[in-house]
Amino acid sequence: MINGRPICLFDLHEPLQVGPWQIDCIELPYPGEKRYPHEGWEHVELVLSGDPATLYARALEHLADEALLLPGIKLKQSSPKGEGERLANPTLAITDGNVTIKFHPHHIRDIVASERVKQ
């Protein structure tokens, strides 16, 4: 459960190669109350492993200042919590209103594993 919604994780036998990135896991959350104007990808999540306290600065290092200043670009910092979550997993989300990129310091598998640990 993440933010009160069940999620399914699909581990890929062969990672998808997209440019310089390898995608080895697909997360599919159960639909929530939010309504979307179109079908398709709502967002992509990228993991920048490291100290959660420095995530925002590390993520911004990967983005051109000029791109962040374009009209319609919005940034949002948050710290979503899953049930029983023990790992801090802050988020930096960047959107142009159509597509959103979210940066996290931990892989979704690590977050799910942290929730399974008995208190």
Encode pLDDT of 7-61 as tens digits: 889 999 999 998 888 889 998 887 777 776 667 777 888 999 999 999 999 999 9
What the chain holds in terms of domains, given with CATH numbers, is: 7-116 (3.10.180.10)
Distances (CA, A) of 11 to 14, 49, 100, 105, 107: 9, 19, 22, 19, 12
pLDDT of residue 97: 85
For residue 22, what are the contacts with CB-CB under 8 A and spacing of at least 6?
15, 16
| Beta strands 100-104; 43-47: pairing state | parallel
Encode pLDDT of 57-81 as tens digits: 999 998 999 999 999 999 999 986 6
pLDDT of residue 37: 67
Give CA torsion, residues 12, 17, 22, 25, to 10 deg. Answer: -30
Q: Mean per-residue pLDDT for 98-109?
A: 90
pLDDT of residue 82: 60
Please write down the HEC assignment for all residues of 28-62. EECCCCCCCCCCCCCEEEEECCCCHHHHHHHHHCC
pLDDT of residue 38: 67
For residue 28, what are the contacts with CB-CB under 8 A and spacing of at least 6?
7, 8, 9, 10
H or E segment and range at residue 16: strand 7-18
pLDDT of residue 89: 85
* pLDDT higher than 90, residue 5: no
